[in-house]
Chain A
Amino acid sequence: MLTNKQTIGRNMFKYLKQLTSLVAMVAVLFTFTTESMAAKKSKTLKNTQKKGFVRCGVSQGLPGFSNADAAGNWTGVDVDVCRAVAAAVLGDANKVKFTPLSAKERFTALTSGEIDILSRNTTWTLSRDADIGLTFVGVNFYDGQGFMVRKSSGITSTSQFKDGISACTNIGTTTELNMRDFFNSKGIKYEPVAFEKADEVVAAYDAGRCDTYTTDKSGLAAQRTKMKNPDEHIVLPETISKEPLGPVVRQGDAVWEDIVRWSLNTMIEAEEYGITSANADMMKTSDNPAIKRLVGAEGELGAAFGLDNDWSLRIIKQVGNYGESYKRNIADTGILPDRGPNQLWTKGGILYVPPAR
């Protein structure tokens, strides 16, 4: 037996339910019309557009890759990847918030959502890619681990290393593991001295605590410029590991992953087709359809990411192509004037990216 009051209550509840579903349907329709599918699927893209800046994790200061000047302006090839994404997604390469991270903090900062791109000279390895909730999107620098020694030591090759050698390095990097593999395979007893921050590694090695300093060769070249007297040190010719460095994103956001991957690819492909920040606008009238696609004059490449068609043009105009970025950050600063493997495949290097089409 229901009382009158209860019946009314029930009916009211029914109406309310219908009303809510109607509102929900309208809302869904509305979002479909204002937001693209891609943006809806990518939480990271949506958040980034809402915030108005890209959250990018970088190193605590590695010249050529990510380094802040006295005024707090970040430069480097790793920094340029984040700037490219900002140019593509937000239309302005300067809308990036950089978070300096130690090797130890970097992955946690990314997986916990503190940053959205980790562009911090990070080596792409199987266990990192598969294990800890990360996805590597590409390679922006092909590197390898090497050793630095004092010139006065007379050592010119790793074959002259002897039992008891002490090696300074960073913790929490592939360097520690490679170093062990290397010394074990040569049967050399060594003393690892591992610091948390790169600045302390350099200071300790420079003071004479260690006979050798080991890390990625690009890192050695960059840190050498920070030493008291750079000319007293040399980087040995041997490379003991493969260190493909590249940007990383969180697992589970395929659209964001694609945006970062193709922002990097765009820079490399632009160099391949000779598009620079200076001539990008003129290239719109090029005869080559591949070039026209890259500068947004043909095709609908941006739509797949939920971006407008000028996304790649903005990257090239505001950040430049890969060659420009390399020259500005690494070659002109005297860190590694020779591009080595980081040259286009058409010019004897191994930079080869899938076509943008």
Chain B
Amino acid sequence: MNFKLKDILPQLITVTAVVLVFGFFTYNAQINMENRGIDFGYGFLSQESSFDVQFSLIEYDGSHSYFRAYLVGLLNTILVSVIGIIIATILGVIVGVARLSPNYLINKFAAFYVEFFRNIPLLLQIFFWYFAALRALPLPQDAEAMFGVFFLTIKGLYVPAFIWQNFNVFFYSILAAIIAIIVIRIQAKRVQENQGKQIPVFLISIGLIFILPLLSFLIGGVSLSFEVPVLKQLATTSFIYDGGVSLPPELIALTLSLSLYTATFIAECVRAGIQGVGKGQKEAAASIGLTPNQVLKLVIMPQALRIIIPPTTNQYLNLTKNSSLAAAIAYPDLVLVFAGTALMQTGKAIEIVSITMFTYLTLSISISLLMNWYNKKIAIQEK
């Protein structure tokens, strides 16, 4: 009995202390807000927001609710995080591998890149890319077309818009191709295990992913046309591009700086992972006659990934949270739209900040869970 109490007591005290501290702050906040005549409540979320946002993935203007504004900010945060994570991963893997290259120039260039970008504060880099880009980019009327259809200007990157007919048929054709590839892969593995025959899955996959969508164009009635941006004059020296899709420079600068910064850390994770695999593994694999490609794919990478994934998860989380620096350069992310403008217009500081914190927490935990699941999948399976 005594022994049990001794075990439980410290935990009990800790829990009580946490609850008390939390309760104290809640109570204090309540009293103070009451004294100062501030109402608490989430009713404002359904009110009309009456402010516009520059860039939104869903339909939104000031006549929509604050909740809709929250969604706009959230989606913009997710957008910049997802693009950032993809670019940072690709760049990070390339640079990480390059740092191990026997080629002196490639090796040193990668090392220089890593040391340079990871040692400058991110906010400075964001400012640099944004304002340097703004100063360096041409005005819309001076912009030269890239490949005839892209226009990179101070007001953003203008790209042609796709105008689809029967887009759903096209979409299903791609879906069918993907399913077919998966089926073939499973089949190919079985054939190899049973008969030792190798089927060129890669070539078949490429063929399928091109041929099926092509068929949808030829016989499925799918057609695609482009709407190329056209220069439009607003005033004597003021122009924009009309039509097409425009990506604001804020988005470009933010993604660029976030990915360049985070890629340096991912590169180091990748390097650590590859170097963490014993040299003997590679030599043993080569000695049983595997090609260099197979050595990397079947022996090195599966082991390296176990070392790479956990620290890379941290970098993904960092990138997502760092995206909140967007507010500095007017990219309408969650912090700028919701914890910025909406907070200001409603004065609901506690409510909005708590929602924002909870949202980032949820985002981070989702990424974390996903990566942990992947990590478990590639971990050593004890038999």
A residues bordering B, Cβ < 8 Å?
103-104, 107-108, 111-112, 128, 131-133, 149-150, 152-155, 160-162, 164-166, 168, 171-173, 176-177, 179-180, 184, 190-197, 200, 203-204, 207-209, 211, 250-252
B36 touches A177 (CB 8 A): no
Inter-chain contacts of A250 with B (CB < 8 A): 36
A107 touches B347 (CB 8 A): yes
A209 touches B154 (CB 8 A): yes
Of chain A, the residue at the smallest CB distance from B153 is A208
User: Contact flags (1/0) for B323-335 with A, using CB distance below 8 Å?
Assistant: 0000111101000
B51 CB-CB contact with A under 8 Å: yes
B354 CB-CB contact with A under 8 Å: no
A193 touches B250 (CB 8 A): yes
Give the CA-CA distance A30 to B194 in the complex, in Å. 101
Q: How many A-B residue pairs have C-beta atoms within 8 angstroms? Tell me.
A: 131
Q: Apart from A193-B330, A197-B328, list 8 A-B contacts with CB within 8 A.
A: A111-B38, A153-B234, A180-B62, A194-B340, A195-B330, A207-B154, A208-B154, A209-B249
Give the CA-CA distance A155 to B233 in the complex, in Å. 12
B residues bordering A, Cβ < 8 Å?
32-33, 35-39, 50-54, 61-62, 131, 134-135, 139, 154-155, 232, 234-238, 240, 242, 248-250, 327-330, 332, 336, 340-341, 343-347, 349
Determine how close the nearest CB of chain B comes to the CB of A266; give it in whole angstroms: 27
Give the CA-CA distance A329 to B52 in the complex, in Å. 34
Inter-chain contacts of A150 with B (CB < 8 A): 237-238
Give the CA-CA distance A107 to B327 in the complex, in Å. 19
Given A172-B340, A180-B62, A204-B134, also A164-B51 (CB < 8 A): no
Inter-chain contacts of A168 with B (CB < 8 A): 330
Inter-chain contacts of B249 with A (CB < 8 A): 209
A171 touches B336 (CB 8 A): yes
- Out of B38, B154, B232, B343, name the residue touching A133 (CB < 8 Å): B38
B340 touches A171 (CB 8 A): yes
Of chain B, the residue at the smallest CB distance from A153 is B235
Give the CA-CA distance A54 to B245 in the complex, in Å. 53
Inter-chain contacts of B33 with A (CB < 8 A): 133
| Interchain Cβ contacts under 8 Å between A and B, 9 examples | A133-B37, A133-B38, A154-B237, A162-B234, A166-B155, A177-B62, A194-B332, A207-B134, A252-B35
B52 touches A192 (CB 8 A): yes
Inter-chain contacts of B53 with A (CB < 8 A): 192
Interface pairs A-B: 5 shortest CB-CB: A132-B347, A172-B344, A154-B236, A207-B134, A133-B36
Given A111-B36, A193-B330, also A171-B344 (CB < 8 A): yes
Given A166-B240, A193-B330, also A160-B235 (CB < 8 A): yes
Give the CA-CA distance A107 to B344 in the complex, in Å. 8
Given A191-B54, A250-B36, also A104-B240 (CB < 8 A): no
- Out of B37, B237, B341, name the residue touching A152 (CB < 8 Å): B237
Determine how close the nearest CB of chain A comes to the CB of B71; give it in whole angstroms: 18
B235 touches A207 (CB 8 A): no
Of chain B, the residue at the smallest CB distance from A150 is B237
Given A111-B38, A166-B155, also A195-B329 (CB < 8 A): yes
Given A164-B234, A165-B234, also A192-B54 (CB < 8 A): yes
Determine how close the nearest CB of chain B comes to the CB of A137; give it in whole angstroms: 16
Give the CA-CA distance A252 to B279 in the complex, in Å. 74
B235 touches A155 (CB 8 A): yes
Give the CA-CA distance A209 to B346 in the complex, in Å. 29
Of chain A, the residue at the smallest CB distance from B348 is A132
Of chain B, the residue at the smallest CB distance from A195 is B330
Of chain A, the residue at the smallest CB distance from B343 is A104
Determine how close the nearest CB of chain B comes to the CB of A208; give it in whole angstroms: 5
- Out of A153, A180, A196, name the residue touching B336 (CB < 8 Å): A196
Give the CA-CA distance A211 to B240 in the complex, in Å. 10
Give the CA-CA distance A103 to B39 in the complex, in Å. 21
Give the CA-CA distance A192 to B61 in the complex, in Å. 11
Give the CA-CA distance A129 to B126 in the complex, in Å. 37
Give the CA-CA distance A181 to B135 in the complex, in Å. 31
- Out of B36, B248, B343, name the residue touching A172 (CB < 8 Å): B343
Give the CA-CA distance A190 to B54 in the complex, in Å. 9
Of chain A, the residue at the smallest CB distance from B55 is A191
Give the CA-CA distance A108 to B36 in the complex, in Å. 11
Give the CA-CA distance A128 to B232 in the complex, in Å. 40
Inter-chain contacts of B343 with A (CB < 8 A): 104, 172
Determine how close the nearest CB of chain A comes to the CB of B283; give it in whole angstroms: 56
Inter-chain contacts of B346 with A (CB < 8 A): 131-132
A177 touches B345 (CB 8 A): yes
Given A164-B234, A166-B240, A252-B37, also A196-B345 (CB < 8 A): no
Inter-chain contacts of A149 with B (CB < 8 A): 235
Inter-chain contacts of A160 with B (CB < 8 A): 235
Inter-chain contacts of A203 with B (CB < 8 A): 131, 134
Determine how close the nearest CB of chain A comes to the CB of B25; give it in whole angstroms: 13
Give the CA-CA distance A108 to B29 in the complex, in Å. 13
Of chain B, the residue at the smallest CB distance from A173 is B344
Most chain A beta carbons < 10 A, residue from B139, B234, B236? B234
Determine how close the nearest CB of chain A comes to the CB of B329; give it in whole angstroms: 7
A131 touches B340 (CB 8 A): no
B336 touches A251 (CB 8 A): no
Given A177-B50, A193-B54, A208-B154, also A103-B344 (CB < 8 A): yes
Of chain A, the residue at the smallest CB distance from B135 is A207
Give the CA-CA distance A136 to B163 in the complex, in Å. 54
Most chain A beta carbons < 10 A, residue from B139, B232, B328, B341? B341
B51 touches A177 (CB 8 A): yes
- Out of B39, B155, B236, name the residue touching A209 (CB < 8 Å): B155
Give the CA-CA distance A172 to B39 in the complex, in Å. 20
B235 touches A162 (CB 8 A): yes
